[in-house]
Each structure stands twice: as structure tokens, then as C-alpha cells.
Amino acid sequence: MGFVCLGYCSVMTEPTTSFRTCPLCEATCGLAIEHQDGTVTRIRGDHDDVFSQGFLCPKGTVLGKFHDDPDRLRTPLIKQDGRHVAVSWDEAFAAISDGIVPVLDRSERDGGAMYLGNPVVHSLDLSLYSRAITVALGSKKVFSASTVDQRPREVASGLIYGSSFTIPVPDIDRTTALLLIGANPLVSNGSLATAPDWPGRIQALLDRDGALIVVDPARTKTAAKATTHLAPFPGTDALFLAAIASELVSTGQHRPDDADRAALEQVVEALAEFTPESVAEATGIAAEQTRDVIAQLVAAERPCVYARLGTTITPFGTTASWLVDVVNALLGALDAPGGAMFATNPAGSKNTRGEGPHGPVQTLGRRQTKASGMPIELGEHPVAALADEIESGNITALITVAGNPVLSCPDSERLDGALSGLEFMVSIDCYLNETTRHADVILPPPSHLQKPHFDVAFGNLAVRNVANYSAPIFPLDDGALAEWEICARLATVLGGGEGTREAAELVDSTIADQLIRGALGSSQCPPELSEERIRVAIGDRTGPDRVLDLLVRSGPYGDWFGSNDGLSLDVLVEHPHGIDLGALEPRIPEVLLTPSGRPEFAHPSLLGDVARLATLLTEPSSGLRLINRRTLRSNNSWMHNLEILVKGKPRCTMLMHPDDAQARGLDVGDRATVSSSAGSVEIAVELDDTIRPGVVSIPHGWGHGVEGTSLAVAERHAGVNVNVLTPATVVDPLSGTSQLTGFRVEVAAATA
Ligand SMILES: Nc1nc2c(c(=O)[nH]1)N[C@H]1C(S)=C(S)[C@@H](COP(=O)(O)OP(=O)(O)OC[C@H]3O[C@@H](n4cnc5c(=O)[nH]c(N)nc54)[C@H](O)[C@@H]3O)O[C@H]1N2
Ligand SMILES: Nc1nc2c(c(=O)[nH]1)N[C@H]1C(S)=C(S)[C@@H](COP(=O)(O)OP(=O)(O)OC[C@H]3O[C@@H](n4cnc5c(=O)[nH]c(N)nc54)[C@H](O)[C@@H]3O)O[C@H]1N2
Ligand code: SF4
Ligand SMILES: [Mo]
């Protein structure tokens, strides 16, 4: 019988299952994605994934829906007469060249700025190529989501260990007592602690009769599992940790590494005024509760302290992060199995090059932002200063990459207004949303299923050493550009070029050349290796695959371009469920890049903040404070356009203790006006006795339905933007990180 085409049969393919790491959060779950003819039919957890073993959360199942979302941008847009219209890539790059280059040149490049959003670290292309844009922009004004997130932890690590990448992670699978502060991994799926299936790992801890001690003003899903839950006043964790540290030493219960004993005792001497009694009123944690926690940690065979976002988005974030490490070290839990350990990144990291001790002295406070004098640390401006810098004319052109600062950054109403005053703005983003509506040009990346994936960042943070590469499942759409190519073309335009494919390839080969030189210069490079041999080994790959191959092969598990049988991209491709490289192993001193060759616990910048911490002891705790909250079916600001995640009861509500509500004449479902020093919003009240009296919570990332956006589903589930309330004036002075939790608000019944 002849071949009869019914119109669609010519493209019918066999149903296929592809395995892929979920790129949405830090948990890095393995997904089994069933698809046919370019359409995802089903997503399950990959039971053979070496790390996640089948676990996934509701977000992991929606990558197909995101791929098909009609609002996801497929062609570049430029703003004409206040409206965004579709154009070709050539037209988009020409518009950027005409629009931004003169603006940059007028300020001798000083007026350009970048905002790098959270998904940058979840995208292989962006992790490897967004830097090309920064370099070409030629401005030092780089902002990112880090200063509304983990920057205090990184600053503390830079000072203590000599690298901001050297972040201790909880060895969750081996600990016997986990003190978990300001984190809700049963909802967030974990952060700065890459571990798929937190629920299972926490359950395993409980099953082996371990203790889970949760410190959180709310009895969250995680706290509900705890063997002990303490609900402190927000923002006071550094006091609690200081009291634990000093009590451990004053009662002689500390057991640090002898090499660190002197430094730790110097620290504890400075902390003498913080005792379980002296901090009790300020923290809301009774002295006997603190002593009980200490007793549990000391009695445990393998104790571990882990703190996350609830401790870093406070004015004492760096100090709290430091004290976490001090307490772990005093317990003998730092760098010990079952304690707080350091991962070994398969893609390599500053701390895997075997360079060892004797790095440079790390200092703070050398640079400040022009308009508001906020600290610039680790090469980044605090986002709290972005509106100031724009309004005072110091920033005239902005490039946002995978970020939605209008919803995620403090004093956002003002920031929203400031963005409309820019002379030129470019966004690389998948949606026309609250931020990108200000952009003169929007460059859309392909969907996540059309990109390669490898977690170059989370190799530093994983609770097991694992390497897992995912090839794209679907090809690029006709005429679409890979995200690395968008970055590279944009970089050449910013440099005065035309943004052609050839120019982008030049950027790509320059990056590869630098990595080849770096590999040859490494102390770990086998002496017989030559540039020519490396080039032969990497073959004709280009783009992110070539860069990743170079990183992995010259990384700590690498094959050094055929010199041994270690990892290469080819080996990763042969292992679609990932390669397990084993449990974490002790790495001190090899991991350190400090002048002394030991952790600098007594770093002057950290000791220097103790006096400020003492001022918290007398801060009045009256009134209401607003804390942050995450919900399982949400991911910061950008997954609200997927019906399956937003349907059902509204998630953007304010949780309030019934006593606090009653005192204000509020009942379930009532609308309340919430105001702070920065602004006010109106929101529905949910009564909830799981939240501490004196504290209310509102999730972030909402506030859709704004004019000029194109998010049909999100618009129907708009919610309010909590960051209208967040003051931009309060930052952690050591790291420039905004206070997004624990600031004062007034709540009253909304008037009609
Ligand atoms: N009040 C309050 N505010 C907070 C927080 C809080 O707890 N409370 N949390 C803070 C934290 S921890 C963070 S990390 C920030 C996050 O804030 P942002 O860094 O602004 O990140 P998102 O809100 O996730 O916005 C991501 C943007 O990237 C786009 N995008 C998604 N994937 C891709 C991609 O692969 N490529 C490109 N080019 N674009 C992509 C989306 O469309 C969206 O516009 O918010 C912070 N803000
Ligand atoms: N479902 C979902 N998952 C996510 C995200 C999301 O938006 N939704 N975002 C991702 C991102 S970008 C990040 S950074 C991670 C964050 O992941 P986590 O670090 O786990 O952060 P949160 O889930 O915000 O939990 C912080 C907890 O701290 C508590 N808290 C607030 N203030 C204080 C305080 O002063 N002291 C103490 N002790 N606790 C306090 C809050 O009540 C909350 O339970 O989650 C990631 N995963
Ligand atoms: S937990 Fe994170 S990585 Fe795992 S499926 Fe959910 S969003 Fe994806
Ligand atoms: Mo984050």
C-alpha cells in the first residue's frame, strides 16, 4: 500500500522518554519526560536518578505546560509608541545598537548596569555566558538577586574560608541532630543545600531517632515535623547563635579542632555578653529552651547547624551566617561527616584547584554606591540601591537577565517608577512581565526543554557529590536563538559590533581559549598535556557543551582530556541518570584559600560587628513584624502563568495569629490594609495559629495584572506585591543584603 499522508502523519514520531534534571529549583530532581511530536505528554520523577530516586514536586511536572504557554515569548519584542511589537532578531539587535550604545558612551560606560535574576544560576547557558554581557557592558554596576538572598552567607564564607563559594552544607543523610534555622525545605525544597527529596531525607533522620530542631516564627510544614520547634522574634537568630556559642564554651562543652581552638576562644570572648538569659527577652526564646537545644546538640553523635533565607534577609545576615559556622566548629561538626561539610564541584570551583592556603586577605567596606552609600561587596551593588542610582542619574541604561526586580526587590513601587525613567533597557526574559514591560527590547530564550542543562553552581552546594548532564529534548524553533548565542550576540552589540552569528562564535571561542589556558596553567594539569591535545580531545563541540566539557575535564573528577578515565561530557552523556561521586568528604585545609591556612573565625570584620549585634538586645519587640513565606506551587515571581499551579484557593494572603486579628477587629477572609515605612497594600487575611503572635506573613512574587504585561493566567490570580512594603533603606551593612523579613508593619481593617 502506498504512503497516505493525512496531513499530520509526516511528523508522527515514536513516543520517547527523555531523562533530564529539573532546572527550576536547587533540588535538581531527575525527571522522566515522555513526549511525542514536540509535545510533552507526561512528566514523572526519574526513579533511576542517582540523586533524587524518583522524587519530584508539583512544579517539576509543568515544564511541558511552560513550553506550550502561549504567553511565553518566542520572538524578540521592541517597544514602539509604548507598545511591544514582534520583530526579527536582526531588527532587535539593531535597535539595541542604536539605542544603548550612545547612552553608554555618553557616560563613558559608567551609566550602564545589569540585574541578574535567580534563574541565571539554574541555566547552563546563562551561568556560562551572562558574564560576556557584563564584560562588554564595561560598567561595574552589577546587581543581582544575591542581595535579596544569600549574599550574607557568601560574604561570611569569603572572610572565613577565603572564597564565597566555600559554603558548608548540612550532611543531612548522616546527621543525628539537625538544628535548622530560618528555612522551610519541605516547601522550598532546600537552598544552599542541594538535596532532592528533603521530605524523605528529613523522615530518614527521624526514623533513625535523630533530632530535628526548627527555629522559625511560623510552625511551617518543616517545623511541624520537628522534634523541637522554637518560634523566635524575627531577625534575632544571630543573638540566639551567639548565646549558644558562648554557653558551649563557658560550660566547657565545646570540642573544636585543636588548630582552631584559639581563634574560636577569641570569638567567644567577644560574645561574652550573649548568654541564654541575656538574649531571652529579645529573641523570645527562654533560657531553658536554649539550654535544651545545646544539650541535644552536645549529646548527639553527629550534630549539625544549618541556617538559610530567614536568617540572611535580615540586617544581621552575615553575622548570623558566621555564628552558624562558629557553633558548628565548637561542636566539632564543621567539616565532619554528619555535620556541615563542603561539596567538591565536578565542574570545578575556586576551591577545587588544589591551590590550598595562603590566599589574599579578604576585606570589606572598600566601595560604596554613589547615591546612597550602600556597601558593594563581592563585586556587586545591592539591589536596595538600584532605584536611588537610577533616580540620581548614575544609571541610565539597564540590562536585566532572567530577573523580575519589580516584584522581587525592596521598595518596588519606587523601583518600578525608576525603571520607566531609564534612557534604555534590554531584557533577556521569557515573559512580558512587570519588569520587562519597561524594556525597549526583550530577547526571549528558548524554553527550558530546548536547552542543555548542568548545574554548575549547585555542585558547590550539594549534600552528595553528583554530576548530571541533560541534552535538550526539543530542537530550537525555526529562527530561534540559543540562550548562549543571545548573550554572546548582545555582548558584541554592546562592544560596538553588529551582533552577528560570526561575532557570537568569536565570543564563544574566546571563552574556550581562556579555559584551555586556565587548564594548562593549573597545578593539577598533567605535564604531558598540550594545547593541541586538549583541542583534539574536545573535538568540534561549540557553545555551552564545549565550555562544560572543558570545565568538567579539568575539574576535580575530570579525565584531563584523556589522561585518565575520569569525567568528560561524553561520559556524562552516557549516564542520563547522573553519576554519583559519593558522600561528602572532609576538605579542610585543602578547601581553604585563607592566608593562615585555617578558617579565619576571628576575622576583624566579623568581630567588628558584635557591638552592633548587642544593640538588638534592647530593641523593643512590640508591634507587628512581617516575615516572608513560600508556597509549594510557586517559584518566586514567574510561574504564576501556569493554570495548574495557581488554580484553587488564592495563595497570596496574609497569615495572622487569631489574637492579633481579633485585636484589630479582623476575621477570616476580611481584607486588611498593611502599611510600612515604604508603602501599603490591601490583602485578604487568613487566620492561623501556626504563626507566632506579633508576626504576619505574606508571600513574595505576586502583584500581577499590571498594564503593559502579557500574562493572561497570572493576571486572573494577581495577588499583591509584598515588596511594595519592604523598605530599601535597611540593609545588612556587611553584605548590602536587604531586610525582607522582620520589618515593622501596621495592619488595620481595609476601609470598604
Ligand atoms: N519579600 C520577599 N522578596 C523576595 C524574597 C522573599 O522571600 N521575600 N525572596 C528573594 C529571593 S530568595 C530571590 S532568589 C529573588 C528572586 O527574584 P528574581 O531574581 O527577580 O527572580 P524571579 O522572580 O524568579 O524572576 C525570574 C525572571 O526570569 C525569567 N526566566 C525564568 N527562566 C528563565 C530563563 O531560563 N532564562 C531567562 N532569560 N529568563 C528566565 C522569568 O520570566 C522572570 O522574569 O526574590 C527575592 N525577593
Ligand atoms: N515552592 C517554592 N520553592 C522555592 C522558591 C519559591 O519561591 N517557591 N524559591 C526558591 C529560592 S529563590 C530560594 S532562595 C529558596 C529559599 O528556601 P528557604 O531558605 O527554605 O526559605 P523559605 O522557604 O523562604 O523559608 C524561610 C523560613 O524562614 C522563616 N523566617 C522568616 N524570618 C525569620 C527569622 O527572622 N528567623 C527565623 N529563624 N526564621 C525566619 C520563614 O517563616 C520561613 O519558614 O527557596 C527556593 N525554592
Ligand atoms: S523540587 Fe525543585 S527540582 Fe525538584 S521537581 Fe520540584 S522544582 Fe523541580
Ligand atoms: Mo533565592
Tell the residue number behind the cell numbers 536547587, with chain if given: 26
Retrieve residue 180's grid coordinates: 535548622
Q: Cβ–Cβ contacts within 10 Å for residue 617, how many?
A: 15
Pocket test of ligand 2: the residue of 144, 202, 216 to mutate, having most ligand atoms within 8 Å of its CB, is 216
* Position 702 confidence tier, pLDDT thresholds 50, 70, 90: very high
Round to whole Å and give the CA distance between 729 and 743.
11
For residue 13, is it within any domain? yes
Q: Is the pLDDT of residue 387 over 90?
A: yes
Q: Is the pLDDT of residue 752 over 70?
A: no
- The number of angstroms, rounded, from the C-alpha of 530 to the middle of its chain's C-alpha atoms is 37
- Cβ of 183 less than 6 Å from ligand 2: yes
Instruction: Give the residue-averaged pLDDT of 268-292.
Output: 98
Give the count of domains, the chain.
4
Q: Which residues form the pocket of ligand 3, taking CB atoms under 6 Å from any ligand atom?
A: 22, 24-25, 27-29, 56-57, 59-60, 189, 196
- Cβ of 216 less than 6 Å from ligand 2: yes
SS3 content of the chain, % helix, strand, coil (to 5): 35, 15, 45
Taking the CA of 455 as reference, the closest ligand is 3
CA-wise closest residue to 50 among 230, 267, 195: 195
- Cβ of 151 less than 6 Å from ligand 1: no
- Cβ of 118 less than 6 Å from ligand 1: yes
Pocket test of ligand 1: the residue of 638, 698, 721 to mutate, having most ligand atoms within 8 Å of its CB, is 638
Q: Is the pLDDT of residue 467 over 90?
A: yes
**Are 294 and 185 in a shared domain?**
yes
For residue 478, is it within any domain? no
For residue 81, is it within any domain? no
- Residue with CA at minimum distance from ligand 1 atom 45: 408
| pLDDT for residue 562 | 97
What percentage of the chain reaches a pLDDT higher than 90?
A: 95
Instruction: Give the residue-averaged pLDDT of 167-173.
Output: 98
| pLDDT for residue 38 | 93
**Are 206 and 304 in a shared domain?**
yes
**Are 545 and 659 in a shared domain?**
no
Q: How far, in Å, is the centroid of ligand 1 from the Cα of 130?
A: 16
| pLDDT for residue 354 | 73
| pLDDT for residue 422 | 98
Q: What's the pLDDT tens digit per position in 105-132?
A: 999 999 999 999 999 999 999 999 999 9
**Are 563 and 593 in a shared domain?**
no
Q: Is the pLDDT of residue 8 over 90?
A: no
**Are 604 and 693 in a shared domain?**
no
Cα dist. 95→82, 98, 102, 400, 440 in Å?
Answer: 15, 5, 12, 16, 9
**Are 295 and 183 in a shared domain?**
yes
Q: The domain containing residue 178 runs over which residues?
A: 171-347+588-612
Tell the residue number behind the cell numbers 566539632, with chain if given: 332
**Are 647 and 718 in a shared domain?**
yes
**Are 538 and 645 in a shared domain?**
no
* Position 7 confidence tier, pLDDT thresholds 50, 70, 90: very low
| pLDDT for residue 2 | 37
For residue 372, is it within any domain? no
Instruction: Give the residue-averaged pLDDT of 403-424.
Output: 98
- The number of angstroms, rounded, from the C-alpha of 25 to the middle of its chain's C-alpha atoms is 8
**Are 513 and 597 in a shared domain?**
no
What percentage of the chain reaches a pLDDT higher than 70?
A: 98
Q: What's the pLDDT tens digit per position in 187-207?
A: 999 999 999 999 999 999 999
- The number of angstroms, rounded, from the C-alpha of 551 to the middle of its chain's C-alpha atoms is 22
Pocket test of ligand 2: the residue of 57, 62, 240, 309 to mutate, having most ligand atoms within 8 Å of its CB, is 309
DSSP per-residue string spanning 31-91? EEEEEETTEEEEEEE-TT-TTTTT---GGGGGHHHHHH-TTS--S-EEEETTEEEE--HHH
CATH number at residue 190: 3.40.228.10
Q: How far, in Å, is the centroid of ligand 3 from the Cα of 214?
A: 22
CATH number at residue 698: 2.40.40.20
| pLDDT for residue 669 | 86
Q: What's the pLDDT tens digit per position in 336-380?
A: 999 999 999 999 999 998 766 666 778 999 999 999 999 999 999
Query: Angle formed by the axes of helices 237-250 and 261-270, to 10°?
Result: 120
Round to whole Å and give the CA distance between 182 and 484.
35
Instruction: Give Cβ neighbours of residue 252 (< 8 Å, ≥ 6 apart).
Output: none
For residue 640, is it within any domain? yes
Contact 736, 147 (CB under 8 A): yes
**Are 719 and 740 in a shared domain?**
yes
Retrieve residue 574's grid coordinates: 552516557
CATH number at residue 40: 2.20.25
| pLDDT for residue 497 | 93
Round to whole Å and give the CA distance between 615 and 601.
22
pTM: 0.97
Strand partners, 427: 400, 442
CA-wise closest residue to 601 among 283, 367, 257, 178: 257
**Are 319 and 228 in a shared domain?**
yes
Q: What's the pLDDT tens digit per position in 90-112?
A: 999 999 999 999 999 999 999 99
Instruction: Give the residue-averaged pLDDT of 691-720.
Output: 98
Instruction: Give the residue-averaged pLDDT of 499-513.
Output: 97
| pLDDT for residue 205 | 98
For residue 459, is it within any domain? no
- Cβ of 144 less than 6 Å from ligand 1: no
For residue 211, is it within any domain? yes
Q: Residues 396, 402, 407, CA angle at the centre, nearest 5°? A: 75
Count CA atoms closer than 13 A to 392's CA, side-chain side.
11
**Are 204 and 323 in a shared domain?**
yes
Q: Is the pLDDT of residue 9 over 60?
A: no
CA-wise closest residue to 706 among 404, 389, 388: 404
- Per-residue burial over 467-501, b if 16 or more Cβ lie within 10 Å, else e, is bbbbebbbeeeeebbbbbbbbbbbbbbbbebebee
Instruction: Give Cβ neighbours of residue 346 (< 8 Å, ≥ 6 apart).
Output: 459, 465, 466, 467, 552, 555, 556, 557, 567, 581
Q: Is the pLDDT of residue 483 over 80?
A: yes
Round to whole Å and give the CA distance between 689 and 390.
42
Q: Which range (11-20, 25-34, 602-611) has the least confidence?
A: 11-20
Q: Which H or E element spans position 143?
A: strand 142-144
At 258 the three-state DSSP class reads helix
For residue 364, is it within any domain? no
* Position 620 confidence tier, pLDDT thresholds 50, 70, 90: confident
